[in-house]
Amino acid sequence: MKTFEYTIKDELGIHARPAGLLAKAAKGLDSKVTIDKDGKSADATKLFAIMGLGVKNAETIKITVDGGDEEASAKAMEKFFSDNL
User: Residue 61: what are its φ and ψ, rounded to 5°?
Assistant: -120, 160
Choosing from 4, 13, 15, 84, which is the catalytic residue? 15
Is 38 in the active site?
no
Asked if 45 contacts 33 with a C-beta cutoff of 8 angstroms, the reply is yes
Residues marked active site are found at: 15
